[in-house]
Chains A and B, each alone.
Chain A
């Protein structure tokens, strides 16, 4: 596997080390002589001092036979450009880019970048998920945080106690996965009634999570 990375700083350095440890062939393009020297002295990466948006530098980094390109700069237009040259000019099959402005996620996808890491969004989702809401815990988030599985313990003041699933008004885009009641796992049907102390596992889109909590916990 041959990977080309365009980036700087510690994250890039540690990624290079990780990939090399996995046995990948890694090239890095960076405009700063000092950074290039440092990477060359610490790793076995092929180091190209140059401009990652320049097809000539990409070619030197082995773009003709690369499998993956990773654009990690803090400049979104540059990251887009790098991925597009890689994909359209060098036919590199997999293009990954970070974006710094969260609004660029859709633009990058529509313009053909395969995988987009929306760092601002990821960090804000991670923080939200770690902030404890009483009786609620986020178990897993899937697809870069686009889908969450969370668990809610129904307390005595929950508005849904004694109601069946049919009767409660769950918003769309929420799947009631299962109920854990006294260590028993119940797969809920429409007429399953919810009781105090039930642990409800729900699958939601992150933006619908708050709505789901309101229904099951109350305001």
Chain B
């Protein structure tokens, strides 16, 4: 069983926390707003920590020092950058995955060992796949004619 710390309990964070909890992982999710935890499903069996994740005290309360995996999902890129670097560089968390809201701001993660995922870029990639498949289909149709 992995110990996973999820930062941010918005749409993305709560869904990830639910998923990991369902998969039997040991999960704690951190959010500044207590009401955000309402987004978690009733089946969620992990823990919640209410507080600002850029405060070391809060991260320690979430036991960042024990984490096998940390997933950082807030809407604010500078918060994500600070928390992910604290996890990677100060606490040697083995795997740190961070959500990039503004793709331009991903420059900061070069050579850090932090894994970045940008919903915008993922959307564009998927779209490109879809479009090229449909083009392919269109070509096939042309050929059969």
Residues of A within 8 A of B (CB): 53-56, 75-78, 80-81, 84-85, 88-89, 101, 103-104, 107, 110-111
Contacts and interface: CB of A to CB of B under 8 A. Distances in A.
A110 B76 contact: no
A55 B104 contact: yes
Nearest to A56: B104
A77 B82 contact: yes
30 contacts: A53-B77, A54-B104, A54-B105, A55-B107, A77-B54, A77-B76, A77-B78, A77-B79, A77-B81, A77-B82, A80-B78, A80-B82, A81-B77, A81-B81, A81-B105, A81-B108, A84-B108, A88-B107, A88-B108, A89-B108, A101-B54, A103-B55, A103-B56, A104-B54, A107-B82, A107-B86, A110-B89, A110-B90, A111-B85, A111-B86
Contacts of A101: 54-55
Interface residues of B, number: 20
The main secondary structure of chain A at its interface with chain B is: helix
B102 interface: yes
The main secondary structure of chain B at its interface with chain A is: helix
Contacts of B143: none
Nearest to B74: A77
Contacts of A88: 107-108, 110
Contacts of A54: 102, 104-105
Given A81-B108, A88-B108, A107 B56 contact: yes
Contact of A76 (B54, B85, B104): B54
Nearest to B104: A55
Nearest to A101: B55
A53 B56 CA distance: 22
Closest 10 CB pairs between A and B? A81-B78, A77-B78, A77-B82, A89-B107, A78-B78, A77-B79, A77-B54, A81-B81, A84-B108, A80-B82
A7 B78 CA distance: 16
A84 B102 contact: no
B86 to A, nearest CB: 6
Nearest to A108: B82
Given A103-B55, A111-B85, A75 B78 contact: yes
Nearest to B52: A101
B138 to A, nearest CB: 37
B23 to A, nearest CB: 30
A89 B104 CA distance: 11
A76 B54 CA distance: 9
A113 to B, nearest CB: 11
A85 B107 contact: yes
Contacts of A110: 89-90
B141 to A, nearest CB: 43
Q: Which of B82, B85, B104 has the largest count of A CB atoms less than 10 A from its CB?
A: B82
A122 B78 CA distance: 25
Interface string B81-103: 11001100110000000000010
